[in-house]
Amino acid sequence: MRLVLVGPPGAGKGTQAQFLAAHYLIPHISTGDIFRANLKAGTPLGLQAKVFMDKGELVPDSVTNEMLKDRLTHGDVSNGFLLDGFPRNVAQAEVLRAILAEKKMPLDAVLEFSLANEEIVARLSSRRTCKDCFQPSVGVEKCPSCGGDVYQREDDKAEVIARRLEVYQEQTAPIVSFYRNEGLLITVGALGSVEDITAHAISALSRVSE
């Protein structure tokens, strides 16, 4: 199974990625993990990215694309993979299509997690992060994992969330149309329990995993 996950911030994409990757026995590949691995290993691509990050600038698509291309040469992707956080725009989606065409390993599906903006704002603005173990939780006064104090991150405040959603609509949402036109898009509602959403996703993907 070769999958891309898309969805707005707060839709639970990262959580679902872990469960789906485990279900299909494929690696969960996130852009964050790729960046951290390259930075830690001091690869040429990691050093290029560090130059921009040290300046507080966004890492150019060209560097991110090359990191992703390199990651897809690893042996663990032979039976499939799950991409989380890539592509972030149509240009990256086109690059990914070219990379996979060259490798003769096209995508099986693009799974979109859909959630209304008002639900996203309510969900994220109620989230708190532990000062000690950094685990996020919802509607708590103490961390359920370690008992530490919790606080609200700046990017979990309502006005910041609204801006994050605007950025998503401007930059990332167009790839939904791109993949719909490619005949790859499958949409699943992201409202409900984690277990129910996972079950719905697996059911929706069953037509391409057989």
* Residues noted as catalytic: 13, 88, 127, 153, 164
**Contact assessment for residue 148 and residue 130, using Cβ atoms and an 8 Å cutoff:** yes
Classify the C-alpha dihedral 181-32-162-62 as positive or negative: negative
Distance in angstroms (rounded) separating the CA atoms of residues 108 and 9: 23
Distance in angstroms (rounded) separating the CA atoms of residues 146 and 128: 14
Q: Tally helices (H) and strands (E) across the chain.
A: 9, 8
Residue type at position 168 = Y
Half-sphere exposure (CA, 13 Å, Cβ side) for 195?
Answer: 0
What's the CA angle centered on 31, arms 30 and 35, to 5 degrees? 120
The residue count of the chain comes to 210
**Contact assessment for residue 101 and residue 116, using Cβ atoms and an 8 Å cutoff:** no
Distance in angstroms (rounded) separating the CA atoms of residues 122 and 125: 5
User: From edge to edge, which strands make up the β-sheet containing 136-138?
Assistant: 136-138, 127-130, 150-151
